[in-house]
A = this chain, B = another copy of it.
């Protein structure tokens, strides 16, 4: 029987009816006009109703992937920075409105589960999924189960310390991987280079306009041989590659799946991570390791959330 998958971001809610094989039968996307918990629940219910109407089938459960820390078991969002929420019982609120069992998980866990069941992870039982978008995150599937951790916050690869006491991260701590290699911070570091006037190539690429900078801008400048850009870029690439390689060493996954907007749009960075894993993961841990790109793109979270509710 199909299930309902919800992808709750900071600006939109998406809903999809997904069959047991992970096919999206229909989907709908609705902007979050109001960010109160009740308003967001209303928006999700609208999106779900539209998706169900388009699909023309009944669903037997609902899974939600949310950009938030989720309290294990209860479905309470402890902290959802994009929505400014703390301790919102989203699972219970949605269950009351939808009349369905609802399972709420972290968005990266949902996306990893989608790749595991219906994407680049099909057929393997032990996966490490790394997403580099505006932030850096990961999810671990071991023995075909999501490793969620005692408090439900496992997988925070972006917040391992690569330079103890180093650059300040959005989480408030110092020296996190994300502070060097996350998309927001790649942009911030590139803007710093532009403002400092230390990178002629960046001036050329942007016309001096910091607003047009993306992570790919930094990659382009670095690849063109700009020394200052290359230093920032190579540092980010090395921190990311060593971090991923080290997780391969510790977790010994059958597959490493790389996804997220930054890795998708910065092919050289993706390549460096792949090469770094070959160079730096322990020899025994990478015997038989397959490195793959995520296959489901933006739908991975929707599909994974739905399949977690199946």
Contacts and interface: CB of A to CB of B under 8 A. Distances in A.
Nearest to A175: B280
Q: State the majority secondary structure of interface residues on A.
A: loop
Given A164-B280, A282-B171, A284-B156, A149 B253 contact: yes
Contacts of A288: 150-151
Interface string A62-80: 0000000100000000010
B155 A254 contact: no
A254 B245 CA distance: 25
Interface residues of A, number: 49
Interface stretch (A138-146, A180-188, A203-211): A138-146
25 contacts: A79-B284, A124-B150, A140-B250, A142-B145, A142-B147, A142-B149, A143-B145, A147-B147, A149-B251, A149-B253, A151-B284, A152-B252, A153-B252, A157-B250, A159-B282, A159-B285, A160-B249, A160-B250, A160-B282, A161-B242, A161-B245, A161-B280, A164-B280, A171-B282, A250-B250
Query: What 4 pairs across the A-B complex have the smallest Cβ distances?
Result: A149-B252, A150-B254, A160-B246, A159-B282
Interface of A: 69, 79, 124-126, 138, 140, 142-143, 145, 147-157, 159-161, 164, 171-173, 176, 238, 242, 245-247, 249-254, 279-280, 282-285, 287-289
Given A142-B149, A151-B252, A156-B282, 18 more contacts: A79-B284, A125-B150, A126-B149, A142-B145, A142-B147, A147-B251, A149-B251, A150-B288, A151-B287, A154-B285, A156-B249, A159-B285, A160-B246, A160-B249, A161-B245, A164-B238, A173-B282, A250-B250
